[in-house]
Amino acid sequence: MELPSAAMFQELFVLAILYAALHYLARAILPAKRAAGHASPPLPLPPGPRGYPVVGALPLLGRAPHRALATMAKLHGPIMHLTLGRQGVVVASTPAAARLFLKEHGASFLDRPTGDAAPTLLAYGAQDLVFAPYGPRWRRLRRECSIGLLGPQALVNWADTRREEVGHMVRAVLARRGEAVEVPEFLFCAMANMIGQAAVGRRVLDDAGGEATREFKEMVVELMTSAGLVNIGDFVPAVAWMDLQGLVRKMRRLWTRLDRVWARLLSEHEEVMAARQQEGARRLDLVDRLIACRREAGEEYGVTDLNIKALLNNVFTAGTDTSSSTIEWALAEMLLNPAIMRRAQAEMDALIGRDRLLRDSDTPNLPYLHAICKETFRKHPSTPLNLPRVSTEACNVQGYHIPKGTRLIVNIWGIGRDPAAWPDPTRFDPERFMTEQGKKVEPMGSHFELIPFGAGRRMCAGARMGVTLVHHMLGALVHAFDWEMPEGAAGVMDMEEEFGLALQKKVPVRAVARPRLAASAYE
């Protein structure tokens, strides 16, 4: 799905003119009255493109809004204002601009926009962790997710599960030795099962490349793509009912399919919950914790069934798609730059040897692996544009007036390509993170030149888990196998992107894996 064609915009202009004519008096007279009765804002809006009548800058975004906004920022500056339909939007495109909005003025941008199709449909009316309004319920949901799945202690508690699933993944790849395989299938299956065991207490997919895996992956990718596209109806309410792009119909169908999956998982979980409790002490999974919160009678901010299904939507979609996409981009870059892969393998061999698989506990001692991951986060951020926030109050930022109700977009992709922050930014070069200064830069929201998970109080709650999974799974695949392009590829790979909430690789990585460890290591 993409933005409308020129012909569709012509139809939109005609409808907009009719709409404007019907409300001419109200729209012509009221602004004059306001101007007569109120002073102008003390400071100007940030600079930005003028756009078109009614639709504003929507036609300028094209198929790749992250690239279009980065190009506009070169003309208008690091803090840019544009109008999308009736909605004012401010875009931050450099590390310094991101720091201003996410840290210094972060308290003014804690909420998400309301009424958009994606959070209304796919997030059960913003009942999840991603789109929910900032407040007591959101803090409750975040706390439970941190304790049960995403926080540092939860990552320690589930380390053995991750090790088992990485072993499953490596053996599944080994079984296809010598064949060209689609790497994302193996990554997605392993990710889904890791999250499944920690979230609902069991594996949810049986094998990489199976029908269930492909169907589930297609739904997740479709959700992440659809939810990230610019929906005309969100910005021009007068034509929202027409669903010009067909996005709302598509999301409704997708929501119905996913809701059946989450309802089935919850039903099966509750059926076996009592039996599992009789087996003795065991680790509580995330849904156990959420159900316990739901059953606390009379609590004002207790968890509802909708919250639980919405949270499952979050962890199984964003949790699988973003991390697996990052690993796929990293492998693609190393296939194009074999010397980087060989150096990473040499580092792992020196620390681990070739008699066992890489473990979670090894990764803190692999600085070059960390550098590869950081460079991938920089050049191919899983979320190219941060999820939009909205100002809950008017504020002044760097001499500009930001009205209440303005949407904030941080162009994370643009920040990673900022030549002032990153020399030769289009080059994939892990060496930039091997210097003393580069080693200090971490992707956890404190260094604004590298914020793949955002920053501030509403940065991605799964950032710590995402970094852990990328380190472990990418390291295991690079250590266990020599990766080669299929015969006939001749060192050429399609690196085109597919824009959405997650920045997908349009053509999946296909590669041949050849085992490089002792046979006993794969057992």
Q: What H or E segment, with its residue span, contains residue 401? A: strand 400-402
Longest dimension (CA), the chain: 82
Q: What H or E segment, with its residue span, contains residue 157? A: helix 152-157
The residue among 188, 163, 497 whose CA lies nearest residue 332 is: 497
The structure tokens listed for 47 are 């600079």
Burial 305-323 (b: 16+ CB within 10 A, else e): eebbbbbbbbbbbbbbbbb
Which residues, in sequence order, are CB contacts of 275 under 8 Å at separation 6+? Answer: none
Could you give the 3-state DSSP secondary structure of residue 408? strand
* 485 DSSP assignment: P
189 known member of a binding site? no
Alpha helices, DSSP H, located in 314-360 = 319-336, 338-352
Instruction: Give yes or no for a contact between 478 and 335, defined as CB atoms under 8 angstroms apart.
Output: no
What is d(CA 94, CA 414) in angstroms, rounded to the nearest whole number?
7
Task: Tell me the β-bridge partners of 410.
Answer: 92
The dihedral built from the CA positions of residue 331, 337, 338 and 340, taken in this order, carries a sign that is: negative
Instruction: Give yes or no for a contact between 425 and 416, defined as CB atoms under 8 angstroms apart.
Output: yes
Kindly report the backbone phi and psi dihedral angles of residue 401, in degrees, each rounded to the nearest multiple of 5, phi listed first.
Answer: -90, 125
What is d(CA 248, CA 233) in angstroms, rounded to the nearest whole number?
9
What is d(CA 463, CA 150) in angstroms, rounded to the nearest whole number?
8
Sheet of strand 79-84: strand arrangement: 79-84, 87-92, 407-410, 389-390
CA 242 → CA 2, 15, 233, 266, distances in Å? 16, 11, 8, 35
CB atoms near residue 226 (< 10 Å):
22
What is d(CA 80, CA 449) in angstroms, rounded to the nearest whole number?
18
Q: Which residues are annotated as a binding site?
A: 460
Q: Which residues are annotated as a binding site for heme?
A: 460
